[in-house]
């Protein structure tokens, strides 16, 4: 999936301005809460680190340390699918509660109950797996000493965080499609034709639209997770030549930091929106709007960090050489470029520096291909 160049934002001419094109694409996608279909789904690996943003600090520290140590985590068949099942169960239960007693209500409640059973079984497999967590006092003490121990309550907390894995809103799409179907039925009646058309236009449901997310934060987290998965699986990134750049960019730390910041910003924005509704005076509303405006640069910084990861991933994929380790034929100038790198700060500026340095991969690969084979490097497949 990651070798397919079709999902790269460079496939279209991006908006221009003082902000890098990649950042503008991320902000535009986040604002629409949709992603283009070619963008790959979120793998379980980055989903595990994105869950850290929902955890309490103490649990987060032990959880990340456990992931860094290489300890295995129980699989539940896909965390994105688990999120969609959880959302669909909630939607079915809410819909059933709003219906009067009857066959329709019974069917919805049974469907919701079936999904709830699946989720609880997955929770039990995740929190009680004897093959992944310590089962003896000695093992517990060892993990406590290493700072990787997760108690039952902490495992439940992690599972709840994984239920919030960024994923397209399957329940929302299903509900909207049902409303459109009802609108089409109303359209057959001359009396309700105008109303039916208005409803259908407002919903604007595409049968192939399965890329709608709950909010801006989930879009950014999905993009950051996909980019980190691509970078981490690149042979060029793991090569000895790019070791200096790997020392500057801690993928695990950056992905975790983006998750923590994005989720915190999203929660703060919801609180500000609620406080604006309850404000009684014009002065209070003005204060809340001023606070909301202060969130804009925070969102832009998160988008810039996400965009830098996308740039690095895209450049690494564009520089792949078939049948050869990516780092073996890279120009020695990369070492000099890496030596001029900035500090190790996990920030938009630091990520952009790494992105610019990795950007030198593409021309170097082309030069070597011309020298060895007399032609440019073929496009990634």
Q: Are 368 and 331 in contact (CB under 8 A)?
A: yes
pLDDT of residue 187: 52
pLDDT of residue 319: 64
Asked if the model's pLDDT at residue 2 lies above 50, the reply is no
pLDDT, tens digit, for every residue of 296-327?
888 999 999 999 999 888 888 876 433 333 44
Apex 109 CA angle, 54 and 207, nearest 5: 70
More confident residue, 284 or 305: 305
| CA 328 – CA 310 distance, rounded (Å) | 23
Average confidence (pLDDT) over 109-114: 92
pTM: 0.75
Apex 222 CA angle, 218 and 223, nearest 5: 120
Which residue reads 């789904």 in tokens?
A: 41
Lowest mean pLDDT among 41-55, 267-281, 299-313: 267-281
Average confidence (pLDDT) over 107-127: 94
pLDDT of residue 122: 95
Asked if the model's pLDDT at residue 58 lies above 70, the reply is yes
DSSP 9: G
Average pLDDT, the chain: 76
pLDDT of residue 283: 83
Asked if the model's pLDDT at residue 109 lies above 70, the reply is yes
Q: What is the maximum span of the chain, computed from C-alpha positions, in angstroms?
A: 76
pLDDT, tens digit, for every residue of 123-175?
999 999 988 999 899 999 999 999 999 999 999 999 999 999 999 887 555 55
Structure tokens at 80: 């994105």
pLDDT of residue 354: 63
Average confidence (pLDDT) over 88-116: 90
Average confidence (pLDDT) over 191-204: 54
Q: Are 316 and 231 in contact (CB under 8 A)?
A: yes
Dihedral class, residue 40 (left if φ above 0, else alpha if ψ from -120 to 50, else beta): beta
Using 50, 70 and 90 to split pLDDT, how confident is the model at 239?
Answer: confident
More confident residue, 324 or 186: 186
Using 50, 70 and 90 to split pLDDT, how confident is the model at 11?
Answer: very low
């Amino acid at each position: 999936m990651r070798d397919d160049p079709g999902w790269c934002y460079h496939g279209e001419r991006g908006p221009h301005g003082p902000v890098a094109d990649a950042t503008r694409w991320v902000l535009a996608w986040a604002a629409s809460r949709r992603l283009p279909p070619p963008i790959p789904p979120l793998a379980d690996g980055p989903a595990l680190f994105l869950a850290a943003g929902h955890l309490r600090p103490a649990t987060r520290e032990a959880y990340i340390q456990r992931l860094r140590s290489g300890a295995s985590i129980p699989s539940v068949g896909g965390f994105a699918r688990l999120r969609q099942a959880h959302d669909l169960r909630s939607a079915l239960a809410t819909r059933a509660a709003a219906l009067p007693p009857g066959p329709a209500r019974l069917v919805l409640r049974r469907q919701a109950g079936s999904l709830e059973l699946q989720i609880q079984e997955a929770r039990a497999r995740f929190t009680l797996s004897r093959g992944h967590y310590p089962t003896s006092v000695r093992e517990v003490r060892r993990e406590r000493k290493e700072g990787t121990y997760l108690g039952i309550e902490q495992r439940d907390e992690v599972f709840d965080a994984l239920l919030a894995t960024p994923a397209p809103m399957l329940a929302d799409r299903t509900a909207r499609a049902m409303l459109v179907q009802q609108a089409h039925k109303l359209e057959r009646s001359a009396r309700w034709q105008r109303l039916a058309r208005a409803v259908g236009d407002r919903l604007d449901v595409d049968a192939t639209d399965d890329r709608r997310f709950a909010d801006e934060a989930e879009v950014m987290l999905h993009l950051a997770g996909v980019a980190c998965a691509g970078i981490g699986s690149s042979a060029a990134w793991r090569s000895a030549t790019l070791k200096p750049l790997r020392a500057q960019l801690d993928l695990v730390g950056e992905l975790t930091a983006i998750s923590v910041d994005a989720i915190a910003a999203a929660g703060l924005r919801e609180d500000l929106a609620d406080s604006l509704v309850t404000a009684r005076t014009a002065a209070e509303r003005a204060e809340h709007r001023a606070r909301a405006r202060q969130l804009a640069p925070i969102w832009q910084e998160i988008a810039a960090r996400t965009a830098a990861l996308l740039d690095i991933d895209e450049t690494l994929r564009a520089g792949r050489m078939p049948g050869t380790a990516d780092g073996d034929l890279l120009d020695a100038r990369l070492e000099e470029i890496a030596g001029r790198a900035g500090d190790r700060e996990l920030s938009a500026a630091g990520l952009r520096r790494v992105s610019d340095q990795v950007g030198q991969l593409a021309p170097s690969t082309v030069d070597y291909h011309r020298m060895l084979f007399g032609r440019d490097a073929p496009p990634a497949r």
